[in-house]
Structure 1
Amino acid sequence: MNSFAGKKGGIFLSAAVGLLFLFLLLPGPAESLNKPAPNPFLSSEIYGITHFDSSQSDSTPFGPPRGAFRVDLAGKPVSYGGPVNIITLASTDPDFMWAVGTDRVAYVNIKDGAWEEVARFEALEDASGGDLPAIPGEKFREFGESSAEGMDVDEMDQFLGDLFGNNYGDRFGNGSYSVVDNENVLYTHFGDNLYGFALADPGDPSAGIAVRYVLENIITAIEGSGFPAITRLFGLSMAYDGHLIVTFSNGVAVIDRNLDLSSVHFYRFADYEYVSNSIAVDEDGGIYIASAGVLPQVGGMMRKLVWTGSGISDSPDDGAWQCAYEGSAVLPPMIKMGYGTGSTPTLMGFGENEDRLVVITDGAEQMHLLAFWRDEIPAGGERLAGQIPVTCGFEELPEWVQSEQSVVVSGYGAFVVNNLPGTVDPDLPGKNKILQVALMGPAYPTSYGVERFEWNPENDEWSSLWARPDVSSTSMIPVHSQSAGMVLVNGFTPGNGWEITGLDWNTGRTVHQTLFGRSNHGNGAYAVLQYLEDGELLFNAFSGPIRVQYDTGGSGGCSAGGSFAPSLMMLLAPLALLAAGRKK
């Protein structure tokens, strides 16, 4: 009797797990989104700009299949470069994309599943006058195919120096924000120069990439003398009237796309403020930008400026405003930069009767998710529409819960990640960001924790929908897939190595895994995840963007693209969440 009961229990458990597996593999419901208006001056509605669109949503119509896949990135076609390749941008020709890294720009043929670099310009070498020379692709391949496991700070520093030069840390931050316009001109920054790149012969991309426009020493050219020594060029966007918007650490400029200095309008911030991210814009000229204090406890400032077509306005009569937010008392030990927000502002709500918000995370050691009213404040309200602590479901909050990534937004849903490990080795603080991001995960403790929030327009408040303290997201920008109904992160775990983890947007269940293993190719290093039509992955790896086509034919193998049964963690995660009471 007991034996029979045990068998019955086993049968029922097997059936339950089987049904759970099938449920996990079902695609999520197609989402009806209230989207920002397409910007007619961008190359495409999606991927014409870093963070995907003018609202900076990091939400894409494309996404991967559900299930678990093991992918070997070695030997796949790569547009070598970096070591940070934040986004591969849409060309006006759908057969091509622009690849932008911290060292170069390239033009890549993507037609019929191809991934072939047809033209290249060594932009950092040009901007630095040869002080930061071009790096052969073989050196990026060598790094990508190696592993950081077992290395310490000195060993990795030596390895990176041998491959990329002793001044490799100076490569960080170049080309980090980019825009492609409707004439297929790519705008991005290297060193102190702002470039406009175009094909030398649009009819023959293999003829090369030319510098159509360049504004050298742009900070001095626009600001003259007397700016703070730490001033840097950061973000780029495109106004809905076709003007280029350029973000500096101490202000914002609007300029014609031919980079004519006579067309510049510049708005300067106070010298105690510092901007380290890009901006969001709306179709009415709104420019949303967040600064932080250059000293601890100064706090940050969230602003809306307005491009009127003839100037940059901070007047409330034009709809402009500013609102202070909390910063940290000390610098984060690694990965995240500065005392303030790590987020490029993201817009939320676009209908006529919608709550129209702009969202960021603040700079507090244990951060909050903030929402500000973009336009008029409801009667009796304040500019800060709502805030909520980010806990990521930790039973006991670590010293740091902080993000260097933008808030991912879809509808009234928001998703944030924690990029700070619970334990920081004392060898890592103060080291350059490339060194830190090369080591965190495989060689030193990684970061864990993600959380999904929902804005309630009836009550004008945030709520936490679900949290996963067991999910790793090291430094890569997460993305939301509309078609797959999931949010995706890149992280490292001791069991699987580098992977992409897909979580159901509504429940937080693990519904997708792309397992890369332990090689450095799987490290996304401050970049953004991207997906193409037909569910293909465009992985902007440390060594350069790589195209991955998933094999959903059920081959059962573990080779590139081969699918296999999901891991036990993938199957049991929903049950664990229920048991722990994490679902809300």
Structure 2
Amino acid sequence: MVRTLVALRRLLASLLCCAVPGVACAANPPPNPFLAAPRLAISHFGSAQTNALPYPVNRGTQTVPLGSVPQVPAGPVNLMTLASTSPDAMWGVSATGVEYIDVRHNGFKAVARTLLPGVQPATVIQLNALLANVRREPVDLQARVASAQSFLKQLSSGSGGISSAYSVVDNNNVLYLNTGTRILALGVSDGLRGKQINILRSIDTTTFLQAGEALTGIVMTYDGKLVVLGTRSVHILDRSFTGAVPSLVFGSDESISNSAAVDQDNGIYIVSDKLMRKVVWTGTALSDSAADGAWSSPYPTGDTFYTLFGSGSGSTPTLMGFGSGDSDHLVVITDGKKRMGLVAFWRDQIPIGQTDRIAGQIPVTCGLPPSYAGDIQTDQSVTVNGYGAFVANNISASNTGTTPVVDNLIRGLPGAPPSPLGVQRFTWDPQMHTWASAWARPDISSDNMVPAMSSRSKVVLVSGYYPANHQGWTIKGLDWDGTGADVQTTILGPGLFGNGIYAMMEFLPNSDLLLNSVLGPARIAGPGSALR
């Protein structure tokens, strides 16, 4: 009876959203027809980069030990499992290889594998041994830090970064990903011994990136072109890897460390450590001209802090507000101050009566007390559903002084820095054009994984480490529309199994969780029944 009443209230809210002016809701972003599926075929789940999925999630509490659920051993480091053109299969991408995974009948089994160019089986064995050394007993903290540094050095050796950090699957079921300075296009075919993964083509990004640049993102336009971001530039690449590569180069004093969002009119939203930009793909050229709808805007930045890149916005731009019925079309980021703020920009023309490209700003406190002396910053993009936005603090009260990745690898071990704490949900008012805090949870850890939101169940999922009672890595489902109360808890334990190391949090259409563990992706049936 209670669930029926909840469902009725949500239905009424949806109807009010469509019928009553001023109710803070927004249409869903339109799916990109050139992606393999409407969701999960690209990082942050869609071209708008919202981290939201239209699938239900479950209510309840469960403990999931290593080895108790279907898992595809891979990596180490598995940042996302992507949709294919078939609902029966998904692409698994890791720092060392690619898997094609059969997900039929609630299963999760690799039916094809390939290592990335230059990766040998011995390399994978060595990486896993280095990773195991990080947590081997008995070792002092200094030795653990050294082991973590050795692991990370080997992981990115010769590539300038972690392979498969950026990936997308197109409507021909071709997977595009980065490895070293190259972008690969991979396909799957039926061979004599079953399915096999093939490299269809590749391109060296040094042929169009500026000298000294690194790859920072790959996304897709709504006419089927790849958008490739460098640390100071953006480029349009045909999926055939042939023809000219239209480019825009930004200031030599700027640095881009995040991927981009794309709207249905091929506006491309890029944030550097100094400016938020909209550039426009016209179909023949990349334009930064106002005549084509492009713009740039400064935002609060300039501080340094203990995150992956240490300055500028830590979030990939996220779009908010879609369709002709939504009064405000926005792009949102977190800013580059030690105590971050949430910033919304007008995506299109600045409305009459408004004078600034920045539509609104609000400080992020995560509910931490005024006496809290630490920084509040993030490496995660803003999670958006309707006119709601969710952010997480990724900076701990103390650190090793090395890198946040090292800290996350040793999390929970004796002497290791504590988990970062604090999350906050905001609401944008499209009538008043202002932000307001909806709720905050200073007790919640969102350690390193990117949150995921169920627009159907109105729940946001976060992953963090909780030392009490050796609980360890835990996925928490928080009530989006209410007070942020816990509605799901999945305890994964203190070992490496529960550690995602900056991966995407995912869940599937039947409500199963998909954990992109550092040890390989795993499928976890949710506790109890789904929050429909």
* TM beyond 0.5: yes
Q: Given the alignment of the two structures, is residue 524 of structure 1 paired with residue 508 of structure 2, yes or no?
A: no
2:360 alignment counterpart: 386
Q: Which runs of 5+ in 2 are unaligned?
A: 15-25
Superposition RMSD in Å = 2.8
Offset of residue 268 of structure 1: 0.8
Q: Is the 8 A contact 1:63 1:535 kept in 2?
A: yes
Q: Which amino acid aligns with 2:417?
A: Y
Tell me, in whole angstroms, the C-alpha distance in 2 between the residues paired with 1:324 and 1:429.
30
- Aligned counterparts, 1:170-569, within 5 A: 170=157, 172-201=161-190, 206-216=194-204, 218-219=205-206, 221-223=207-209, 227-229=210-212, 231-260=213-242, 262-292=243-273, 300-330=274-304, 332-333=305-306, 335-354=307-326, 355-381=328-354, 382-396=356-370, 397-424=372-399, 428-431=400-403, 433-442=404-413, 443-495=416-468, 496-506=471-481, 507-550=483-526, 552=528
- Aligned counterparts, 1:107-126, within 5 A: 107-123=100-116, 126=117
Q: Which runs of 5+ in 1 are unaligned?
A: 1-18, 293-299, 554-584
3-state SS of 1:534 partner: coil
Q: Deviations over 1:479-511 (max 9, x none)?
A: 111222111100011122110011100121111
Q: Given the alignment of the two structures, is residue 168 of structure 1 paired with residue 144 of structure 2, yes or no?
A: no
Tell me, in whole angstroms, the C-alpha distance in 1 between the residues paired with 2:127 and 2:120.
20
Q: Which amino acid aligns with 1:167?
A: Q
Q: Is the 8 A contact 1:144 1:542 kept in 2?
A: no
1:40 alignment counterpart: 33
Q: Deviations over 1:267-322 (max 9, x none)?
A: 11111111111100011110000011xxxxxxx10000000000000011100000
Stretch moving more, 346-355 or 393-402: 393-402
2:20 alignment counterpart: none
Q: Deviations over 1:381-411 (max 9, x none)?
A: 2100000000001112433100000000000
Q: Deviations over 1:54-88 (max 9, x none)?
A: 10010011243111111113353322233332210
Tell me, in whole angstroms, the C-alpha distance in 1 between the residues paired with 2:236 and 2:381.
23
2:49 alignment counterpart: 56
Offset of residue 234 of structure 1: 1.5
Q: Is the 8 A contact 2:101 2:109 kept in 1?
A: yes
Q: Which amino acid aligns with 1:267?
A: L
Change (3 A) 1:438 1:362: same
Tell me, in whole angstroms, the C-alpha distance in 1 between the residues paired with 2:330 and 2:137.
41
Report the identity percentage: 39
Offset of residue 444 of structure 1: 1.9
Q: Deviations over 1:418-461 (max 9, x none)?
A: 0001223xxx2234x54232023443211000000000011100
3-state SS of 2:144 partner: helix
Q: Is the 8 A contact 2:156 2:163 kept in 1?
A: no
Which TM-score applies when normalising by structure 2? 0.89
Tell me, in whole angstroms, the C-alpha distance in 1 between the residues paired with 2:229 and 2:467.
39
Tell me, in whole angstroms, the C-alpha distance in 1 between the residues paired with 2:268 and 2:137.
41
Which TM-score applies when normalising by structure 1? 0.81
Q: Is the 8 A contact 2:232 2:250 kept in 1?
A: yes
Q: Is the 8 A contact 1:497 1:517 kept in 2?
A: yes
3-state SS of 1:139 partner: helix
Q: Is the 8 A contact 1:196 1:213 kept in 2?
A: yes
1:295 alignment counterpart: none
3-state SS of 2:58 partner: coil
Change (3 A) 1:196 1:458: same
1:104 alignment counterpart: 97
Q: Given the alignment of the two structures, is residue 82 of structure 1 paired with residue 75 of structure 2, yes or no?
A: yes
Offset of residue 207 of structure 1: 3.4
Q: How many residues align?
A: 506
Q: Is the 8 A contact 1:92 1:182 kept in 2?
A: yes
Q: Which amino acid aligns with 1:106?
A: E
Offset of residue 167 of structure 1: 2.2
3-state SS of 2:426 partner: strand
Structure label with greater radius of gyration? 1
Q: Is the 8 A contact 1:451 1:467 kept in 2?
A: yes
